[in-house]
Amino acid sequence: MSSIDVTQYEFEEVSRKAKIKSAVEAMLFASGEPLSLKDLSHNLEIQAKALEEILKEMINDYEDENRGIKLIAINDGYQLVTKAENSDFIQKLLKKNRRQSLSQASIESLAIIAYKQPITRIDIDEIRGVKSESAIQKLVEKNLIKDIGRLEVPGRPILYGTTDEFLIQFGLETLKELPSLDLYSDAETENSLDMLNKAISEMGEVAVTEDS
């Protein structure tokens, strides 16, 4: 192959990759939700392995460039999100804090669900020692937790688990990235609930308000 042919081939590859990146960006923007590698590769009619390499490049592109958004991998999918440093501007634009302050009751319930899921409200109540119905409802409204099934016992109570939004808010790709509870010694935490709260609180800044 001559140098001219090589140059032409390289040019075509760069052009093709640029078109793929453009299409991926457009699909993710239009979706507003995470798209799986399988869906992206199917729509683009490219092999998943080749597309995965391009997506890795895109993640780096967004990090390296002075962009207001970034591409993240989450639960075997990909999503465009705003960069944390721009959150104040976004909140002002939307006239609300998207994360919204979580009460102590909500933080406790979220910590229990994150580490013990799937779990029922009754089990959450037993761990907290108080009723958690209101806190759970608020977490559902904020899309941090969801109904993921029913426990096969009389009454078939709802089982709760965390959502993709939970992962995004706390900067996680998968639940495997939750801090290990082994990191906290008995001296640091008096009981399991304290340990769960400490782990969740250290993952990100979650404001606490005084409701129950």
Q: What whole-number distance in Å separates Cα of residue 140 and Cα of residue 17?
A: 40
Adjacent-strand bridge partners of 35: 78
Are 6-87 and 104-207 equal in CATH topology?
yes
Give the per-residue pLDDT at 147.
Answer: 95
In 3D space, the residue among 168, 30, 32 whose CA is nearest the CA of residue 98 turns out to be 168
Which distant-in-sequence residues (6+ apart) come within 8 Å of 81 by Cβ? 69, 70, 72, 168
Cβ-contact 20, 57 below 8 angstroms: no
Q: What whole-number distance in Å separates Cα of residue 25 and Cα of residue 207?
A: 33
* Token pair of 140 as six digits: 């559902």
Q: Which amino acid would we find at residue 50? A: A
Class of domain 104-207: mainly alpha
Give the per-residue pLDDT at 210.
Answer: 36
DSSP state of 179: P
- Return the domain boundaries, the chain: 6-87, 104-207
Indicate the CATH number for domain 6-87. Answer: 1.10.10.10
pLDDT tens, residue by residue, 102-138: 788 888 899 899 989 999 999 999 988 889 999 999 9
Give the per-residue pLDDT at 124.
Answer: 93
10-residue stretch averages of pLDDT, the chain, 212 residues long: 50 78 93 90 92 93 84 90 82 60 84 92 91 92 92 90 89 83 50 63 48 40
Cβ-contact 75, 34 below 8 angstroms: yes
